[in-house]
Amino acid sequence: MKIILSILVCLSLQMCSQVKQPEKSTSMENSTTKNNPYYSRTDRTKLNVPNSEWKKILPADVYAVAREAATERPGTGKYNVYDEKGDYYCAVCGNHLFRSDAKFASTCGWPSFFEADKEGTAYKRDSSYGMERIEVLCKRCDSHLGHVFNDGPAPTGTRYCMNSVSLEFVGDSEKAAK
Ligand SMILES: [Zn+2]
């Protein structure tokens, strides 16, 4: 009898933990998007939000890179060495930017892609720090993502060198679970 009872207790505990798991992952996923009324993965309408407003909404590291064009230290970004299947969205507004199929193992220290979502990205000449570069911005919210160079691999020869902190990854398995 005791054995049956303990099995029952075990089973019910397991069921409880199984029920709780989805809650956990949902709250983690929303950690960067909490209190952000502009965030959407489907709405591509151009945003015109001043930095004073973004500063109140975004975590400090995201604000520094995305809104003040800071660069994360090479080799430190969470997506630098990362090859899960899924999509990369703007960490500020949720706009779709890259597909994992276009990501390649670059040695530059930042996550790199050979192709971007043309509807998601915009470009601007950047002559800062004595260099001529092309800055990549989110087309929807104008956040700084990184730079684009012409030394990438086939088939495009393009290298989108991005800051992990400006990106938010959503895996295919996560999407299927919803
Ligand atoms: Zn954006």
Q: Identify whether the C-beta of residue 97 lies closer than 8 Å to the C-beta of residue 117.
A: yes
Exactly one of 93, 138, 141, 161 is catalytic; which is it? 161
Question: How far apart (Å, rounded) are the C-alpha atoms in residues 168 and 90?
Answer: 6
| Interval between CA 6 and ligand 1 midpoint (Å) | 52
| Catalytic annotation present for 161 | yes
Question: How far apart (Å, rounded) are the C-alpha atoms in residues 12 and 15?
Answer: 5
Per-residue pLDDT of the chain (178 residues; tens, 9 = 90+): 555 555 444 444 444 444 444 333 343 444 455 689 999 999 999 999 999 999 999 999 999 999 999 999 999 999 999 999 999 999 999 999 999 999 999 888 999 999 999 999 999 999 999 999 999 999 999 999 999 999 999 999 999 999 999 999 999 988 777 5
| Interval between CA 45 and ligand 1 midpoint (Å) | 10
Question: How far apart (Å, rounded) are the C-alpha atoms in residues 28 and 12?
Answer: 25
| Interval between CA 15 and ligand 1 midpoint (Å) | 39
Hey, what long-range contacts does 47-52 have (CB within 8 A, 24 or more apart)? 47/93, 47/140, 47/141, 47/142, 49/141
Q: What is the pTM of this model?
A: 0.80
Task: Say which CATH class 35-177 falls into.
Answer: mainly beta
